[in-house]
């Protein structure tokens, strides 16, 4: 049964796309809208990378972010190539391999953890114990790519379904909330989240016809989302490592300064015992001065 489903899946997806294209009065406009979705998603990823990730490293660490990101290229390539079939291991490796060959499954941040961790530590800018905690945690919680893509896909469905008049500021606010909360841990169900958000925001039911276009390109955009996600994980690991190192340096400096002050005081007492005695007597005289004056009065 599973083999039969996997065999017809590419044909079924092609049929859905062909049906959606055939129902369009202007196919050129439909493909142009898909191009706009791809361009908007890629632009959102680039803006987030430059204005959030790069700027954070530049401001916090006062260093060139690209000197660190160049070490992450192997992890980013792995994120683009990795797959995470939504089929359990009980069906056997042959079925999983066939699924990956027939229909490209979604990329996986979890599958990229070893390469991301190795690349971040090899840069010399991330402590191993920090990377070992931050990067696996981020692979589960950090879904920045999905938070950017899901609202765009939902707006694409609304526009291509003729609901652009219902798009308001409140719609965008709700989309941001749903995408932010729902994107964490929903990588295998990203398509379901898009449909749920669409039906919730625009008070509709079912699946719009243009959803077939998203189904056809989601495997490609998912790889872009995964690359952005693992880059964000490595960015946080870099920032935390820098902050921890700065705090340790500050503690070392304060301890070193205290040692120097103590050593200087001891050296002064050893080299000039008379001066130390005079200072002690003056200190005692200063403390007793007001009391003596009070008795005389």
- Copy the structure tokens of residue 252: 């070392």
- Tens of pLDDT, residues 30-47: 788 889 999 999 999 999
Tokens of 42: 């890629």
Q: Does the CA dihedral 53-221-40-77 come out positive or negative?
A: positive
Catalogue the E-assigned strands of the chain: none
For residues 55 and 49, give the distance between their C-alpha atoms in angstroms, rounded to a whole number.
9
Burial class (CB within 10 angstroms; exposed 0-12, middle 13-18, buried 19+) of 254: exposed
Cβ contacts of 68 within 8 Å, gap of 6 or more:
57, 123, 125, 234, 238
Q: Residue 293's pLDDT is what?
A: 46
CB 194 within 8 A of CB 158: no
Which is more confident, 145 or 87? 145
Computed over every residue of the chain, the mean pLDDT equals: 78
Confidence (pLDDT) at 291: 47
Kindly write down the DSSP assignment for every residue of 53-96, as one continuous string: IIHHHHHHH-S-THHHHGGGHHHHHHHHH----SS-GGG-HHHH
In order of their start, the domains of the chain are 2-249 (1.10.3860.10)
User: Does pLDDT of 208 surpass 80?
Assistant: yes
**3 state SS for 261-291:** HHHHHHHHHHHCHHHHHHHHHHHHHHHHHHH
Band of the pLDDT at 128, cuts 50, 70, 90?
Answer: very high
Nearest-angstrom CA–CA distance, 53 and 237 = 11
Per-residue pLDDT tens digits for 211-246: 888 888 888 888 999 999 999 999 999 999 999 887
Burial pattern 158-183, b for ≥16 Cβ within 10 A else e, equals bebbebeeebeeebeebbeebbeebb
Listed in sequence order, the residues at least 6 apart from 183 whose beta carbon sits closer than 8 Å to its beta carbon are: 143, 146, 147, 150, 190, 193
Cα–Cα separations (whole angstroms), residue 192 to 28, 106, 163, 167, 233: 27, 14, 20, 21, 25
Q: Which two tokens stand for residue 13?
A: 């997806």
Mean pLDDT along residues 180-202: 77
The span from the CA of 107 to the CA of 68, in Å, is 23
* Alpha-carbon separation of residue 204 from 30, 128, 159 (angstroms): 21, 49, 14
């Amino acid at each position: 049964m599973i083999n039969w489903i996997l065999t017809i899946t590419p044909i079924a997806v092609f049929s859905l796309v062909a049906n959606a294209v055939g129902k369009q009065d202007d196919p050129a406009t439909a493909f142009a809208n898909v191009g706009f979705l791809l361009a908007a998603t890629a632009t959102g990823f680039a803006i987030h990378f430059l204005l959030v990730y790069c700027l954070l490293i530049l401001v916090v660490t006062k260093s060139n972010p690209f000197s660190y990101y160049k070490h992450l290229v192997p992890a980013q390539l792995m994120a683009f190539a990795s797959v995470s079939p939504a089929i359990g291991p009980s069906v056997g490796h042959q079925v999983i391999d066939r699924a990956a060959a027939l229909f490209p499954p979604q990329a996986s941040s979890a599958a990229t953890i070893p390469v991301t961790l190795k690349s971040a530590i090899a840069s010399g800018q991330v402590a191993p114990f920090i990377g070992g905690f931050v990067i696996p945690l981020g692979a589960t919680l950090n879904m920045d790519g999905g938070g950017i893509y899901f609202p765009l896909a939902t707006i694409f469905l609304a526009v291509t379904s003729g609901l652009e008049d219902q798009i308001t500021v409140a719609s965008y606010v709700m989309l941001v909330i749903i995408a932010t909360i729902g994107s964490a841990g929903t990588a295998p169900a990203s398509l379901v989240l898009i449909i749920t958000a669409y039906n919730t925001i625009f008070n509709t039911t079912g699946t719009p016809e243009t959803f077939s276009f998203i189904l056809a390109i989601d495997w490609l955009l998912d790889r872009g989302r995964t690359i952005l996600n693992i880059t964000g994980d490595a960015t946080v690991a870099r920032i935390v490592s820098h902050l921890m190192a700065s705090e340790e340096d500050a503690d070392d400096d304060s301890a070193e300064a205290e040692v120097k002050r103590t050593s200087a005081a001891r050296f002064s007492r050893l080299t000039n015992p008379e001066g130390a005695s005079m200072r002690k007597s003056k200190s005692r005289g200063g403390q007793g001065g007001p009391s003596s004056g009070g008795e005389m009065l």
